[in-house]
């Protein structure tokens, strides 16, 4: 069997196009433009690239996009003051503070300072708790993107066995919740998990998010499994070139899997696309509105009046 690649770039592009249509509709009918603020502390090269991509794509879909670049030795109090200002800014619907933060800053104090209604990363304990309770919430972008990718190749996840390797707050833990809600039997694994290969071999879907280059080998997979690779690792090849590799040994895994995400071009683009989708969701929720997407005819928007809310398929935060 030769696996089919799940093309995250084109799936993300379609989602961004749908977000851009939402933005045009909100501008034309509701007279507002969603605003996204992205805050970067320091000059970590990878974070700088991510933040630029997020700001560029935010502009491309028609958002008001603001970028804040703070020095690596910024006081925590100064960073908190920026967040407070953004919380109070009516033109800003989404606030993202790029992680990791420098060691002298308490990450949790920062994440908890972001208004839960503007928490487009879904990292605030309020949203984490609501997600865990199965309540409408702003959920983290990478897990939302992964579920979307899986849904492009299998529409009914009910009863499927999934192994999620990695238990980070950004990917593994929220993804396990989302997949559990979709009816999957989820095994949360990590590098230390005993018998990891044999656990993976029983799974219909393997998600590798452990941050370990080429951890998942071809012979760890059940024939026909769906493989989602969240890893982005730098590896040096036999002639000394640096290349990006995932947490899955791609060539081997492609011989056993039915579908597989490439690195790059798989999960990564979906994370940014869901940041944009979450910003629209936050923008409409904050105003007591709702948008219902119909993927056949792109989307249907309901009236921008609060009275209609109850009649709609709401995904409100309040
Ligand atoms: N660092 C790595 N991934 C993410 C993410 O999804 N959001 C933020 N804010 N920082 C990150």
| Domain ranges, ordered by start, for the chain | 30-115, 141-268
Classify domain 141-268 at the CATH superfamily level.
NAD(P)-binding Rossmann-like Domain (3.40.50.720)
Q: How far is the CA of 98 from the centre of ligand 1 (A)?
A: 5
How confident is the chain (318 residues) per 10-residue block, as mean pLDDT?
A: 95 97 95 98 96 97 98 98 98 98 98 98 98 97 98 97 98 98 98 98 98 98 98 90 95 98 98 98 94 55 40 36
The reported pLDDT for the residue numbered 298 is: 40
Chain center to CA of 318: 22
Is the CB of residue 83 less than 8 Å from the CB of residue 39?
yes
Q: Return the structure tokens found at 300.
A: 């249907």
pLDDT at 138 (0 to 100):
98
**Which residues sit with their C-beta closer than 6 Å to ligand 1?**
96-99, 121, 141-142, 170, 271
User: Which CATH number is associated with domain 30-115?
Assistant: 3.40.50.10860
The count of other CB atoms within 10 Å of the CB of residue 151 is 13
Please count the CA atoms within 13 angstroms of the CA of 308 that sit on its side-chain side.
12
Pocket test for ligand 1, best of 99, 110, 140, 267 (most atoms within 8 A of CB): 99
- For residues 147 and 175, the answer to whether their CB atoms sit within 8 Å is yes
Ligand 1 center to 97 CA (angstroms): 8
Distance between CA atoms of 17 and 35, rounded to whole angstroms? 17
Q: How far apart (Å, rounded) are the C-alpha atoms in residues 83 and 113?
A: 7
Shortest-distance atom of ligand 1 to CA 170: 6
Q: Which is the closest atom of ligand 1 to the Cα of 271?
A: 6
Residue 120 alpha carbon to ligand 1 centre in Å: 11
Asked if the domains at 30-115 and 141-268 fall in one CATH topology, the answer is yes
* pLDDT recorded at residue 317: 42
Radius of gyration of the chain (CA): 20
């Amino acid at each position: 069997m030769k696996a089919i690649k799940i093309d995250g770039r084109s799936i993300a592009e379609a989602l961004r196009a749908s977000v851009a249509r939402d933005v045009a509709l909100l501008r034309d009918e509701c007279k507002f433009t969603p605003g996204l603020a992205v805050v970067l502390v320091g000059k970590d090269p990878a974070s700088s690239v991510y933040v630029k991509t997020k700001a560029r794509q935010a502009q491309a879909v028609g958002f008001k996009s603001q970028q804040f670049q703070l020095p690596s030795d910024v006081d925590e109090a100064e960073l908190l003051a920026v967040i407070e200002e953004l919380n109070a800014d009516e033109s800003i619907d989404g606030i993202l503070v790029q992680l990791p933060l420098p060691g002298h800053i308490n990450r949790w104090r920062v994440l908890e300072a972001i208004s839960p209604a503007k928490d487009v990363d879904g990292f605030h304990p309020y949203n984490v708790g609501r997600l865990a309770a199965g309540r409408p919430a702003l959920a983290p972008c990478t897990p939302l993107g992964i579920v979307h990718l899986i849904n492009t190749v299998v529409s009914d996840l009910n009863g499927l066995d999934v192994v999620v390797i990695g238990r980070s707050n950004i990917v593994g833990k929220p993804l396990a919740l989302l997949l559990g809600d979709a009816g999957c039997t989820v095994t949360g694994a990590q590098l230390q998990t005993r018998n990891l290969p044999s656990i993976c071999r029983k799974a219909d879907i393997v998600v590798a998010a452990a941050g370990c280059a080429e951890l998942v080998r071809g012979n760890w997979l059940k024939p026909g499994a769906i493989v989602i690779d969240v890893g982005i690792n730098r590896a040096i090849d036999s002639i000394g070139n640096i290349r990006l590799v995932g947490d899955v040994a791609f060539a081997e895994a492609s011989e056993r899997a039915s579908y597989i995400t490439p690195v790059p071009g798989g999960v990564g683009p979906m994370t940014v696309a869901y940041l944009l989708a979450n910003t629209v969701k936050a923008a409409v929720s904050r105003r007591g509105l709702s948008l219902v997407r119909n993927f056949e005819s792109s989307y249907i928007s309901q009236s921008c009046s609060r009275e209609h809310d109850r009649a709609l398929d709401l995904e409100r935060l309040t």
